[in-house]
Every structure is written in C-alpha cells, then in structure tokens.
Copies of this chain bind each other. A is one copy, B any other.
Amino acid sequence: MDDLSPSLVTRITGVIHKQIASRQLSLGARLPSIRSLAEAQGVSKSTVVDAYDRLVAEGVITSRRGSGYFVAAPTAPLALSDIGPALDRQIDPLWLSRQSLETPDDYLKPGCGWLPPSWMPEDDIRRALRAVARNPKSNLVEYATPLGHLPLRQILSRRLGELDITVAPQQIMLVDSATQAIELLCRFLLKPGDTVLVDDPCYFNFLAKLRAHGVKVVGVARTAHGPDMAAFSAALEAHKPRLYITNTALHNPTGTTLSPLMAHRLLKLAEAHDLTIIEDDIYADFEPEPSARLTAFDGFERVIYVGGFSKTLSASMRCGYICVRGDWIDALIDLKIATIFSSHQLPAELVCAVISDGHYRKHVELIRQKLAALRGRTVESFERMGFKIGVVPQAGMFLWCELPGGRDASELAKRALAEKIVLAPGNAFSLSQSASGFLRFNIAQSQDGRVFEFLKRALG
C-alpha cells in the first residue's frame, strides 16, 4: 500500500492530525465517514481507509464496530526532562553519560566518548539494511541462538587472530554491547562484597556499574605503559581482588597502551593471586598496528576478552561480544538466558554485513587517518592555552589534559554546560578523586571554534 499512494494517504492523515490539533475534532468526536471525507478531499475511499487504519495504528483514533471512527485520548504533554538537560546535577560517574546522551543536538560535546555521527559509516549501514531486507535468508523474526549469529562469530574468530588471539567461534558469545558484556561478566564473576581493581583514572561507567553491583572498588594509578606495577602488586596483597577490569590498548581516558613488558608482569602477578581480568578492547580498531593484548599472552587462562562495534560502526544497532575459555561458555549461556533471554539477531546480521564488506576496513583506516591528522594540531592548540598533556596517545580519539594553574575541572565543566558545551571533568574517571585538574578531550569532537573560544576565555 505504501508503494501505491503514500503521499495521498499521508495527506489525509495530515488533515486529520491538523483538525485534532486545532480542536476542530475534539477528544471523543466522531470522524467524517469514509465516503464523505473521500469526496471532500477528492481521493478514493481506499485511500481514506488506509489513512484511518494508520491513524488507528498510531492510536490517534479508535474504531467502534458499526459506528465509525472517533478521536482517541491525546498524548500527555512532554516533561521538561524530555526537553533540556538538568544543569545542577552533581558531577559523578553518571553525570557525564547523561550530559552526553541527553543534551540536544545544538550542544558541543568535546567531552563526549564517541565520534561525531558524520564520521560513522552511515552509507555502509544503509547498504547493509537494503541487503538484509532483500536477502531471503535473513533472520528477521526469530530469536538468535544462545551464542548468536555464527557467521559473525566466525569473522570475529579470524579477525582476533590478527591480534594473536586464538579463539574458536564457539568460545565467542554475542551480546548487545560491550557494556552489556561486562555487565553479564560482573553478574557471572562477582558477588556483593567482592573487591574489583580498576585503573585510576578509568572509564567512568566502570565505576557506576561496579557501584551498582555492590562490590568494593580499588584503584591503581595508570602510568604511560600500564598500571603502576608496584601499586598493582600491593593492591593484590592488601585487597585480594577477584577481578581487574581494564583497557589494554588506547586506555580510556588517558589513551595509553600497555607495553608487552608490563603485560607479562601483570599476568604473572594475576596468576600468583588468582586474579581474573576483563580486557575491554572496544578501541581495537583505532590502532594502526596492533599492540600487545593480555588475552594473546594468556590464552584464556584467566583473561576474558570483550569487544564491540559502537565506537567505529554504530551505536544505534549495537553488538558486543565476549571471548572466554571454553569451559565457561555453558554457564555463561545459562546466565544470558536468565538475564536477557537472547541478544539481538538483526543488529548482528547488519554488523556482519557491514564488516564482511571491504568498505569497513577502509572506513576504520580513514578514521585513523583523520584522527592522526587532527591530533598534532589539537595538542598544539591545547598546549598553547597552557594545558599539559603528559602522554600524547599514538592513536584513538582521547587527550587527557591537565588544566593550567591548578584550576578545577568540575567548575569549568559547569560553566561550559551553561554555554552548551559538554566537557569531561577528570574526577568523573577517578576513584580517588585525584583528577580534579584534568579534562578528557575527544579530538574529533573538539574542532568547533567555540570550544577553543570558550576555553581561552575561561582560562584567560
């Protein structure tokens, strides 16, 4: 039907919408009969039938058998919370997520943790949508199998080989995002009262998530080459943690990468203290040359590998995955079924369609090149304003910058928000709250002149 006369049907639904909005048709009022509206509007009766069907589907009107169509209850008005961000919320690990997710499109987001939409492979996704729509083998209606779409797991198995990670497709479980992967693993591994190690600073949502799990969290300072090994060792002795969650490569927020030497030492300590490690590798595709992975060294003895596509492919159709030792898979499947029953099949097929096309490799290569081109001059601009950048990352989107003159990042973030700029204050990432003088910038989101103009003015 929508292939025949969409514009006519849309015109008729528009007429009714307008009459309701202007109170010509009020709540409970009977709509014109199909014949009379068709005559009045000069369209066929079937066009009006289709338009009324659509309005019924939208819930705008209802039909009563034998007596016609009536205006249904109106939608309740929007609350302010749907329109604007709260300006006074205390800055905590969730503050930044909410500012980044909730602020309208006219806000600048140099503190945001993802790339601008224009950097994402939208054309490839549209092509994948069309391909999945026309492929008679697409599974559009049934649940995914417990581990998820096998062709995607086979591709992941091969791709991970490039990081020297040997993993069979049946050791890979698809889930709906890397965040959900870590959520499931926390449910799998932790009980309230356990202790978990994180980097300080670390991805702020680790802190929010672990707080929600009721576990004790201990931070270990992050150096240029990985966690401070003396502090890490001392924390193992003192707190007997069950788990360590980390980004090995292109760590969020510092952009630093674990060296092979540190990886080896860390795994020796982990073994001695029976520590399990979640290696969250969602920035893998930003690396031009792969660095050392804990999972590659460890071979799934005690390291669990987590990846996803929200940062390089799409955050609208999310797909993450867990790679784990074979003898844990069965219990993980049980927990996945109990908590979410099944992960999304269609997004997995779409991700599979996008990445099995040569375009995706070119797309991530292009992202790397664009970031590389911007990184140097962004660093230069920030340094000119007085920021100190201890380690300039080799790749990725983040710059971890120390404010000049001991200024407070949270204060600055609040001022910025009033000017519709979302900054990422350091303490949102810091368990010890020792990063009040830092901001995390996203290179790709910091190119608007108003960001620099604001910073210059605020710091001047």
Contact = CB atoms under 8 A, between A and B. Distances in A.
Contacts of A98: 146, 333-334, 337
Interface in A326-357: 326, 329-330, 333-335, 337-342, 344-347, 349-350, 355-357
Nearest to A160: B59
Contacts of A350: 346
Given A168-B76, A177-B340, A155 B59 contact: yes
B170 A79 contact: yes
Given A141-B316, A169-B76, A338 B211 contact: yes
A224 interface: no
A212 B192 contact: no
Pick from A168, A333, A341 the residue with the most CB of B within 10 Å.
A341
Given A140-B125, A176-B176, A361-B53, A94 B338 contact: yes
Nearest to A210: B338
B212 A338 contact: yes
Contact of A205 (B101, B129, B341): B341
A170 B57 contact: no
Interface string A115-150: 001001110011101111110000111111111001
A319 to B, nearest CB: 10
A82 B54 CA distance: 43
Contacts of A366: none
Interface stretch (A179-187, A377-385, A426-434): A179-187
Interface string A197-214: 000000001001101101
A317 B344 contact: yes
Contacts of A76: 157, 166-169
Contacts of A81: 170, 329-330
A58 interface: yes
A302 to B, nearest CB: 20
Given A2-B357, A140-B125, A82 B316 contact: no
A73 interface: yes
B126 A129 contact: no
| Number of identical monomers bound together in the oligomeric complex | 2
A398 interface: no
B131 A2 contact: yes
A223 interface: no
Contacts of A97: 337, 341
Contact of A114 (B143, B345, B349): B143
Contacts of A131: 2
A133 B337 CA distance: 31
Interface in A52-95: 52-54, 56-60, 62, 72-73, 75-79, 81-82, 94
A179 B158 CA distance: 32
24 contacts: A59-B161, A72-B162, A73-B161, A78-B170, A79-B168, A97-B341, A98-B334, A117-B142, A120-B140, A125-B141, A126-B140, A142-B316, A176-B340, A179-B340, A183-B339, A187-B212, A192-B192, A205-B337, A208-B337, A316-B344, A316-B349, A317-B346, A318-B342, A347-B347
10 cross-chain pairs, A with B, having the tightest CB-CB distances, nearest first: A53-B358, A59-B158, A76-B168, A120-B141, A129-B133, A316-B345, A208-B338, A317-B346, A79-B170, A179-B341
